[in-house]
A and B are shown apart, each in its own frame.
Chain A
Amino acid sequence: MNTRFDITEEELPIFRAEAEDQLQILEEGLVQLERKSQDQELVQALFRAAHTLKGSAGMIGHKRMVELTHALETVLDGVRKQALEPSSELIDVMLESLDSLHQLLDEVGSEELSSINVHSIIAQLQQLSGVQSGSASSIQKPASIASQPSEKAQSTNQADQTSQPLTIQVKISQESIASAARALQVVFALQEMGHILELNPPLSVIESATPVAWLTVMFRPTKPLYEIRKSLSMISELEEILIEGEQLKSETLETKPVQVESRPAPQAKYSLGELLVQNGLITEEQLQTALRIQRESEGPSKPLGQILVGMGWVSQEVLDEIIAEQSAQKKAPAMVSAEADTTDKGRTKVIDKTVRTSVERLDNLMNLIGELITDRNRMYQLRRELEALYRGSPQVEALSDTIIHVGRITDMLQSEVMSIRMLPISNVFNKFPRLVRDLARKANKQIDLVIRGEDTELDRSVLEVISDPLIHLIRNAVDHGIEFPEERRAAGKPERGIILLTARHEQGRIYITVEDDGRGIDVNRVKAKAVEKGQITQAEADAMSEDEAIELIFVSGLSTARTVSDVSGRGVGMDIVRANIEQLNGNIQVETWLGKGTQFTIILPLTLAIVPTLLVKVCGSTYAIPLVTVNETLRIKAKDIQTVNGRPVISLREHVLPVCNLGEVFALQSRDHGRTKNDYEYIVVVRSGKSQLGLIVDDLIGEEEVVVKSLSSVIGEVIGISNAAILGDGQVALVIDVQGLIKLVTSWSERSGRFERLPD
């Protein structure tokens, strides 16, 4: 329970999620506003978001958040009314205020207070906008309400010429934010019940939203006084209601037969007569008779109550009681709801078709499903064995059918749970417009960020880890990719550069691209840099293909930016980006066109916990190779494996592909079973980025979705192995870390001074 703010545990996640949504709308909108300052709809949406945020913050009593959102709202209001130009400087400060709001939001639900000084940023907002926060209210002249007076009052005009004017004074609470509106409510209420002869302050003043402390009305009533009182008592924030002449007139007023002749107006349902009827003290006929008597009697008419007492239909005591009850109802409307409290609560129905749950529960669910999939795989295996053993047995057939059914249900369960865990990638993408804007401004570049496919959904575990690599790629695009405006102009390109960010689903994988229309990667510069840093020799550089050279950008410690900037360019990055992505069983590829731009493509599995793999046999053990890394599988004759520079290679579609024997890499026992050169070898072609490698295996088993379990906590890091998985037959399979394996194989050849490259 948070003690600082007025919010319950239950409300907290809703509050936070919504506040974050509003901040997101503001952030995205402000970035757009810089270029579309005339977009009224946009400004309106921004204003609304600030306003809503302020409202919610106020409800939990977060004063500093209210102050800051109010200042922001004021500025946006200025922009909305076109009194303010949203300059880049102003947007800078507004975006900064969003950062502060994020921090203030973090206070809610945490025990720590941030050290944010809202007043300095509020002062900045005010200074830049020239608006004082207090003047937020828009003072517009409202339209006249001349057409509003009550028709009922007019129609009864003649009937009440005789009634005496009353002086009604109401005091409106100083707390009221719109005392004029309260005054107007009083005016409207009274118009329903008679004629306003005089108003102080006059209507025009009230309508101009000038605060009203006291309202004095000269009034000729057409309704009984208790109704007037009741009606006024329904208006909130009236501290005092003084009606002069009340005692004198109340009895006579009651003689007016207005409400009985017509059908009772909704407001008039508590008239004395009706109350008596409702309570079964008199009958409807008795009431009508009494009213007729009242109407037809000559001279000053008698009060209804007195007529009824006179007829002997009610006693004076009962009458007094009912009148007392009537006024009690008016004074304490809350009592009614207090009574209601004891009534059936079961009827309360909040229409809400969504349920909130914690991420841990979803994770647990996913883990359980992972176990289930392992068991399903095991059952499939057993089913095959049983079918082979007891062919034609009806029990085995029935069991077999059941297993298939359970398997299908498991699949459905998995996809259902996965879809629950799915979140649109916009959750990550939506912070990038601000990022690009800020980075570009710092780097003095002009860049538009274009986002496509932000609705593409990914598992939230993937979403969580994909953000940092993307930020890095975007920083690089801003810093290294897009040129300065003058450079672009000179190259015949538009001054504004474009960074295109896309996401899509394809074949059960997610493709995310980061593309820029900048200068592209200069392969020769990359090589020169690598040579300069001593990472490769000049000879190796000369021998490198373009693709190989581009791969160098993923090598640690290499940055080709001419100057190390604030944004990126410290040369620690692309290697980590690749490592992070491959840790997710993903893949990153780069394509570049000199002078035209660069495209990075990240390929990821849909979820992290369950990985589609290709199972292979090596020296009697099963290994799982993530399908995302598998290009193809080959079956070649053993004699087609040649040795170049002491390393085994094969020729694949006129390219030379280095191969390695998994058994040898993992130092398993030699698998030479006396094969001849004409025996076939299975090769799985895997890739990491642009590097390809053929893995020689004994046998291909097939594709299987496996539930991966981390190994590092048990045996530490093993090069070439990323995880372990439990298979259908109960065996444990090791999951191959393709990137690590390629590195391992490459380093072997480097150690022996034979960097892999072959004559074309």
Chain B
Amino acid sequence: MAKILVVDDAEFLRVRISKMLSSEGHEIIEAENGLKAVETYKSARPDLVLMDITMPEMDGLTALREIRSFDSSAKVVMLTALGQESVVLEAIKAGARDFVVKPFEKERVLSAVAKLVG
């Protein structure tokens, strides 16, 4: 099973996503902002990152770039919200492998994850 890093400043979201994924047998690690996500990525080397865009300390886009410059094969799925179309576009350019729009269904997250680390 995959090791997945879930990054969101909202604990509620982290808990919910973690639960969705751990029920599929994935190992979950969490980070609450971009800065911690980059640190955690470097130390824990997850197979996949699910990351929010709007976060304190360091936003998801910047964290995505840092993670990708550290590991060009990093698989990052952005968690986004309505109104962030242009940021999503930037994220895809920066190498994000997918994006999931909040609010999302469990199936949507699971299929995004399965596509990348199935």
Contacts and interface: CB of A to CB of B under 8 A. Distances in A.
A14 B12 contact: yes
Interface in B8-22: 9-13, 15-16, 18, 22
A349 B33 CA distance: 20
Contacts of A73: 83
B45 to A, nearest CB: 14
Interface string A123-143: 000000000000011111011
Contact of B86 (A47, A137, A188): A137
Contacts of B69: none
Nearest to A141: B86
Contacts of B97: 234
A333 interface: yes
A137 to B, nearest CB: 5
A343 B28 contact: no
Contacts of B81: 51, 54-55, 58
A712 interface: no
A229 interface: no
Interface in A311-343: 333-334, 336-337, 340-341, 343
Given A181-B91, A185-B92, A343-B1, A55 B10 contact: yes
Contacts of A350: 18, 22, 28, 30
Nearest to A22: B10
A11 interface: yes
A236 B112 contact: yes
Interface residues of B, number: 54
B23 A48 contact: no
Chain A, interface size category, equals 35 or more
A508 interface: no
B24 to A, nearest CB: 5
A18 B81 CA distance: 18
Contacts, number: 158
Interface string B13-55: 1011010001111111110000000000000000000001011
Q: Among A70, A148, A337, A344, which residue has the most Cβ atoms of chain B within 10 A?
A: A337
B102 A59 contact: yes
Interface string B62-90: 00000000000100000011111110111
Nearest to B82: A177
B118 A333 contact: yes
A18 B26 CA distance: 25
Given A350-B28, A351-B30, A207 B85 contact: no
A167 interface: no
A349 B98 contact: no
A209 B12 contact: no
Interface string A197-240: 00000000001010000000000000000000000011110000
Given A55-B13, A145-B93, 19 more contacts: A18-B12, A47-B54, A48-B54, A58-B81, A58-B103, A59-B102, A137-B86, A138-B86, A142-B93, A143-B93, A185-B92, A234-B115, A236-B99, A337-B110, A341-B23, A341-B25, A345-B25, A347-B27, A350-B30
Interface of B: 1, 9-13, 15-16, 18, 22-30, 52, 54-56, 73, 80-86, 88-93, 97-104, 107-108, 110-116, 118
The 6 closest A-B pairs by CB, nearest first: A58-B103, A336-B118, A136-B83, A178-B88, A333-B114, A348-B22
